[in-house]
Structure 1
Amino acid sequence: MPESDLAAEVAHIAADAGRFAIRLWNTDFRRWEKSPGNPVCAVDLEVDGMLRYRLGELLPDAGWLSEETIDNAARLDAERIWVVDPIDGTRDYLRGRPGWAVSVALVERGKPVIGVLDAPARQEVWTAEAGKGAFRNGERLCVAARDQLGGARVPADQLSKVDRDLVMVAKPNSIALRIAMVAAGEADLLATIRWGNEWDIAAAVLIAEEAGAAVSDAFGRALDFNTPDAQAFGVLATAPGIHTAAVERLADRAKDAIGKG
């Protein structure tokens, strides 16, 4: 199957998953915590099963990594792997807020090559293919042309004193959608300083990169996917003109955070 046809089929499958999730949104489904502060619901698991079956039919030889599936080290031997979060932003899903999305990425040799975020509650479909650009609802995305860190827009609920020169903008619970905001030029900077999971960011990282954003871990290093622990320390997605300054600002906090981990 040509790569462009494959990308279209992935978007179609993600859209079916999104339609299923939104039909059940705000209904009486089972919900619980996998661990304290880590919510999950029955819809997460049903969407995960649907995606695994449909994507598995599409590429039977591809590995699988998902938030809602027990990890299998066999994925490390796969040249291509699906990296999936069936509902990224589960807290917003549970609260009846629109900041959630179905996240699907195809990773090849450690790098995302297809990324889709289907966000039906926001009526948004974000797509990207490596080397072919990023799009929201069919319109090409381009990162903002900011070259000063001061005044940069950040999706956040609050800012520390040292970051008061930044500007808060609305923050969806989904980190994938927050990264996508940088891709769309609706934010200039998204940063986390903690260990995070590959399934949260794989699709969004490709979308941001294809829109011209600079993307790295919290220390400014390149992100790799399908790693043994399926984690990275932080993610930093910015307008390219402020990435170096953002890395420098985060450096001491990142060192302290990783030292405590």
Structure 2
Amino acid sequence: MPESDKKPLAPAAPRFDWQADLALIADAAREAGKVAMAHFGQSPEVWWKNEGRSPVSAADYAANRILEEILRHARPNYGWLSEETDDDPARLSCDTLFVIDPIDGTRAFLAGKDTWCVSVAVVHKGKPVAGILVAPSLHEEFTATIDGPARRNGQDIAVSTAGIEDSLKLASAQDMVAIFSPILRPRIERVDHIPSLAYRLALVADGRIDATLVKKSAHDWDLAAADLILARAGGSVTDLDGQSLVYNREDVTHPVLCAASADILPALLKNISRIPRS
């Protein structure tokens, strides 16, 4: 065939090394965890945001700063969304970005409780592709990439094998349990409140609880890393219509959600008898 008749080759699809990104965010999250631990139990200064509904402490800001220093220097082309950084609409034009909660569970942190964590995710085209939760006070780390297993402290984890006919450990407020049908409710064993949403989802991924309900208005930074970890462990978190979550939209809040193993989630959703107001 003459050279002039040859069709040009299509450009190769970009290759992404999400394992390298996981290594990067893991190092950064561990450093942020060390910074937070230096404030833990030390009564850090506290301010109130969202019209006085949400506390933020000097520890949150300090952990956020170290994450920014490490991650933005390493990946200057990635966008940025963090609970403790003023939102920059430029993130909407980024295919890939970091989604950060420097301390998920600030109320627990300030109360001296161990159930808080540093949550860091890489989100690509609306989906998390690498994520880590570091819970330094509990000596736990949960990790996953889109093409690898979910792990806790380096060991593979999986969701509970409980079926819809079994007794189900559900982490939720009492008023949220009432959304389930009277048929299912007697089989629900409600677990005490777990302040960190990210850590709560990790417990579903780890099989320590079977499911959780999430009140409306959770944010991308509460969910992205834990969403991926749960998915790679065999579970899912969706809205009440069974729709998966999309990240890095203009509105970063989400409706009421349900999380469980992929095997029982559809049945749980079918057993919702009323839509909660909160």
- TM-score calculated relative to the size of structure 2: 0.87
The one of 201, 209, 230 equivalent to 1:187 is 209
**Cα offset for 1:169?**
2.6
Structure 1 unaligned spans of 5+ = none
3-state DSSP class of the match of 1:113? strand
Amino acid in the other structure paired with 1:81: L
Q: How does 1:73-152 map to 2 (within 5 A)?
A: 73-148=89-164, 151-152=167-168
3-state DSSP class of the match of 1:207? helix
Structure 1: distance between partners of 2:17 and 2:126:
20
Deviation by residue 1:144-184 (Cα, 9 ceiling, x = unmatched): 11221652111245464553431123442100010001100
- TM-score calculated relative to the size of structure 1: 0.92
Which structure dedicates a bigger proportion of its chain to helix?
1
3-state DSSP class of the match of 1:86? strand
Amino acid in the other structure paired with 2:103: I
Structure 2 unaligned spans of 5+ = 1-15
Amino acid in the other structure paired with 2:98: W
Residue in 2 that maps onto 1:243: 265
**Cα offset for 1:50?**
1.4
Q: How does 1:1-261 map to 2 (within 5 A)?
A: 2-34=17-49, 35-148=51-164, 151-156=167-172, 158=174, 160=177, 162=182, 163-250=185-272, 252-254=274-276, 257=277
**Cα offset for 1:235?**
2.5
**Cα offset for 1:121?**
0.6
Q: Is contact 1:149–1:242 with CA below 8 Å preserved after alignment?
A: no
Structure 1: distance between partners of 2:231 and 2:17:
22
- Bigger drift between 57-66 and 240-249 goes to 240-249
3-state DSSP class of the match of 2:243? coil
3-state DSSP class of the match of 1:191? strand
Amino acid in the other structure paired with 2:116: W
Q: Is contact 1:133–1:211 with CA below 8 Å preserved after alignment?
A: yes
Structure 2: distance between partners of 1:125 and 1:196:
22
Structure 1: distance between partners of 2:36 and 2:165:
38
**Cα offset for 1:42?**
1.2
Amino acid in the other structure paired with 1:66: S
| Higher gyration radius (CA) | 2
Residue in 1 that maps onto 2:6: none
**Cα offset for 1:36?**
2.9
3-state DSSP class of the match of 1:209? helix
Residues 164/69 of structure 1: CA separation in 2 closer, same or farther (3 Å cut): farther
3-state DSSP class of the match of 1:142? coil
Q: Is contact 1:191–1:218 with CA below 8 Å preserved after alignment?
A: no
Amino acid in the other structure paired with 1:221: Q
Identity %: 34
Q: Is contact 2:44–2:59 with CA below 8 Å preserved after alignment?
A: yes
3-state DSSP class of the match of 2:251? coil
The count of aligned residue pairs is: 256
